[in-house]
Amino acid sequence: MYDVIIIGGGPAGSSAAIYTARGNLKTLVIDKAPQSGALALTHKIANYPGVEGESTGKELLERFRRQAKSFGAEYLQTTITAVDVEDDVKTVFTADGVFEAKAIIVATGSKGRNRMIAGEERLLGKGVSTCATCDGAFFEGKTVAVVGDSEEALDEAAALGKFADRIVFIVPRAELQGVDHVPELPKTEWMLRTKPVEIVGDRNVQGVRVRRADGTEQLVEVDGVFVFLSGSKPGTELIRDQVPLDEEGFMVLDSLMQSPVPGVFGAGEVRRTPVKQAVVAAADGAIAAMAVDKYIHKRAQVLPQYK
């Protein structure tokens, strides 16, 4: 049992972890792909307060995480398959087990996409998936495509290697983003600088049509397509049916980052904010953390941390 589980380890989630752990709350941060967030992929930052000179987003994020860990926060890299926030005890189901907490902070950033691949929505659940851990076993001995250019896509391809006989890794860019080392992936065929145009099939996925950098198109026959493309919509899919969201999927939060569901908080790009900056997300995380402290200890007001 944790005091708080923070979903997402970017600037909002790690800032929240610094404050909750420093406030002696038992803290677990669950992050599926630490190198895939917007900050981790930022090559140069020169305007973050207190950090002189230039820094990469990855370096700044590592500072956040080291600081949170120094206060006792735990980090776990795994896939979350579901959450249950209806009861007083919140439950998070993952590929590495089930975890419980008195409160959760959703800090998953922007993950969803405004524009899907043609055929993706129609065939979702019929061969199209966004979770290899959840659905990989359904493709035992089959051919699948992985679409993406991030650490998340790489990790999912590795997970699929346990089941699929052949993996076609479709990467829209010339290389994976935010990945220092690409391990050898058996049974994997790489298609770099290749964009997915359409996922085809009648009742189930039969293939994916791709366009190469030279403009030529090809139909790749596969039994399943796992999509891990980034986007600008809030990553609130996990809580969609349990926590109030607005028409665009942003969490409905008050000034203390609290949702209408007791014990559920949000921070960063899961809320509607006028600007998207690491410093704004970090501020959200700090506010959410102090609100969690107030909630757990049943305080009348937020107790700031000054020293």
Q: Which domains does the chain have, with CATH numbers?
A: 2-112+232-296 (3.50.50.60), 128-228 (3.50.50.60)
DSSP 3-state helix, strand, coil percentages of the chain (rounded to 5)? 20, 30, 50
- Tens digit of pLDDT for each residue in 71-125? 999 999 999 999 999 999 999 999 999 999 999 999 999 876 667 899 998 998 8
- Tens digit of pLDDT for each residue in 168-206? 999 999 999 878 889 999 999 999 999 999 999 999 999
Percent of the chain with pLDDT over 90: 73
DSSP state of 238: G
Query: Is the pLDDT reported for residue 227 higher than 60?
Result: yes
Amino acid at 80: I
Residue 84: φ, ψ to 5°: -130, 110
Cα separation of 155 and 150, whole Å? 9
Mean pLDDT for the chain overall: 92
Higher pLDDT, 215 or 276: 215
pLDDT for res 82: 94
- Tens digit of pLDDT for each residue in 44-60? 788 899 988 888 888 99
**Is the distance from CB of 30 to CB of 73 less than 8 angstroms?**
no
Query: Is the pLDDT reported for residue 130 higher than 70?
Result: yes
45: nearest Cα among 6, 11, 7: 11
Query: Is the pLDDT reported for residue 207 higher than 80?
Result: yes
The answer, as to whether pTM is greater than 0.85, is: no
Q: Tell me the C-alpha to C-alpha distance, in Å, between residue 126 and each of 100, 199, 202, 205, 266.
A: 32, 11, 10, 6, 32
Q: Tell me the C-alpha to C-alpha distance, in Å, between residue 163 and each of 111, 160, 203, 304.
A: 26, 6, 22, 50
pLDDT for res 297: 96
pLDDT for res 54: 86
Cα separation of 129 and 117, whole Å? 12
